């Protein structure tokens, strides 16, 4: 089977990487395409992955720049998929859906954002894709007939204990203190981030002060350049080691939705400060059903620092979050095993899931 996979974000690559290994081990041909985005290419190089970059420069952060780059990627995916004789295309980008439609080949669109959050993306993608493979809680609007819901999360595909074991030796090799908090600052430049605010320097200063007053070391992982004295807090590690470091943090404070979900998967206490708080189904389930994250709107900076003080003041907070994580894991499937099965057995797998959604619980 010839499978073409496109990833446009580091988290998307992590989602697919074990599935790619499984597909190759089973004798399938996999062609991996990427674009230039954040640390994506560095991650693939560190992992020794074979790939083709179809957008080797950063796009302009304007509506026209986003749309123009999207159309160019679609044309590139179409040409490469036709030469590759792809049997199936998979990924999150609209280029996968549009190219597959032009080629009359099946497409599996994988994502975990609700349709209201990504309206423009949905208009460019959902009409053309064959399948929307998403966590069960995700809302897909009028495209419900294309939805294949699974009991899990994209981040669970690579942070499930069967695939990831936090290594304390990795953390200690960087000289990182045992009592530390991690701050994550996102660039907030995606099309759905338009008008969305996050952590500003004044609030970061306050978060640092509270942590240091309580005896915690502070490290900052940032997609944006850090100015002045904040540079001394910058986390300097290999990109592939971030999940090992995060797993041992006492607390994550972030304006990144992706990293907040990752912390939840690892059972790490976390606070996310974003205008998206209260809007995203995956994070709402993790917060309300499992207590594995807390969303705070940017209009409530005092609440963020109050919650930081409360969590850092709890002696058993890590143990409590680990218990919550175990409950979540007990109720979810092995997403990578399910994804591998779904691709290798398509289209029969779609028929099976349509007739018996509980079949997925064979992948526990």
Residue spans of the domains in the chain: they are 2-152+333-362, 168-330
| Topology alike, domains 2-152+333-362 and 168-330 | yes
**Topology (CATH level 3) of domain 2-152+333-362:** Rossmann fold (3.40.50)
Return the structure tokens found at 32. 């991996």
Distance CA 91, CA 339 (A): 12
- pLDDT tens-digit readout, 314-353: 988 999 999 999 999 999 999 999 999 999 999 999 999 9
Confidence of residue 55 (pLDDT cuts 50, 70, 90): confident
Distance CA 201, CA 207 (A): 10
- The model's pTM: 0.91
Distance CA 315, CA 55 (A): 48
Name which of 95-99, 183-187, 217-221 the model is least confident about: 183-187
Write out the H or E segment, with its range, that includes residue 73: helix 63-84
Contact 134, 140 (CB under 8 A): yes
* Pairing mode, strands 251-254 and 180-185: parallel
Structure confidence at residue 188 (pLDDT)? 45
Confidence of residue 281 (pLDDT cuts 50, 70, 90): very high
Per-residue b or e along 88-121, where b marks 16 or more CB atoms closer than 10 Å to that residue's CB: bbbbbbbbbbbbbbebebbbbbbbbbbbebbeeb
Q: Using omega within 30 degrees of 0 as the cis cutoff, is the peptide bond preceding 347 cis?
A: yes
Provide, for the chain, the percentages of residues in helix, strand and coil under a 3-state DSSP scheme, each rounded to the nearest 5: 50, 15, 35
Distance CA 52, CA 117 (A): 29
- pLDDT tens-digit readout, 132-165: 999 999 999 999 999 999 999 999 999 999 999 9
Confidence of residue 194 (pLDDT cuts 50, 70, 90): very low
Taking domain 168-330, whether its CATH number is 3.40.640.10 is answered by: no
Higher pLDDT, 84 or 186: 84
What number is the average pLDDT over the span 245-273?
Answer: 96
Confidence of residue 272 (pLDDT cuts 50, 70, 90): very high
Distance CA 267, CA 252 (A): 11
Say whether pLDDT at 197 is over 80. no
Contact 46, 66 (CB under 8 A): no
- pLDDT tens-digit readout, 15-43: 999 999 999 999 999 999 999 887 889 88
Return the structure tokens found at 284. 């709402």
Say whether pLDDT at 189 is over 80. no
Note the maximum CA span of the chain.
60
Say whether pLDDT at 203 is over 60. yes
Q: Which residues pair with 219 in a beta bridge?
A: 182
For the chain, percent of residues with pLDDT exceeding 70: 94
Contact 305, 296 (CB under 8 A): no
């Amino acid at each position: 089977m010839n499978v073409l996979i496109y990833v446009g974000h580091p988290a998307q690559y992590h989602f697919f990487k074990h599935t790619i290994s499984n597909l190759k081990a089973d004798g399938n041909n996999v062609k991996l395409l990427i674009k230039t985005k954040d640390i994506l290419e560095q991650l693939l190089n560190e992992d020794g992955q074979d790939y083709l970059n179809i957008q080797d420069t950063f796009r302009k952060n304007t509506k026209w720049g986003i749309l123009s780059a999207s159309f160019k990627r679609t044309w590139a995916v179409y040409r490469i998929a036709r030469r590759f004789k792809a049997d199936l295309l998979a990924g999150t980008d609209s280029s996968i859906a549009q190219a597959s439609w032009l080629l009359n080949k099946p497409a599996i669109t994988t994502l975990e954002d609700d349709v209201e959050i990504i309206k423009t993306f949905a208009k460019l993608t959902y009409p053309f894709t064959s399948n929307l493979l998403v966590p069960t809680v995700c809302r897909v609007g009028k495209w419900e007939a294309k939805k294949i819901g699974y009991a899990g999360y994209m981040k669970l595909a690579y942070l499930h204990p069967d695939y990831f074991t936090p290594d304390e030796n990795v953390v200690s090799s960087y000289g990182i203190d045992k009592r530390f908090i991690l701050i994550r600052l996102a660039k907030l430049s995606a099309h759905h981030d338009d008008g969305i605010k996050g952590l500003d320097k004044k609030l970061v200063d306050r978060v640092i002060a509270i942590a240091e007053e309580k005896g915690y070391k502070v490290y900052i992982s940032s997609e944006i350049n850090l100015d002045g004295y904040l540079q001394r807090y910058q986390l300097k590690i290999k990109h592939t080691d971030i999940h090992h470091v995060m797993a041992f943090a006492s607390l994550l404070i972030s304006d990144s939705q992706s990293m907040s979900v990752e912390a939840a998967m690892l059972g790490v206490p976390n606070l996310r400060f974003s205008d998206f708080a209260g809007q995203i189904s995956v994070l709402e389930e993790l917060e309300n059903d499992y207590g594995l994250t807390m969303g705070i709107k940017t209009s409530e900076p005092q609440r963020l620092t109050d919650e930081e003080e409360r969590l850092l003041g709890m002696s058993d907070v890590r143990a409590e979050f680990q218990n919550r994580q175990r409950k979540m894991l007990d109720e979810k499937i092995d997403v990578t095993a399910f994804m591998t099965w779904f691709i290798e057995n398509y289209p029969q797998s779609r028929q099976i899931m349509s007739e018996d959604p509980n079949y997925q619980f064979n992948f526990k």
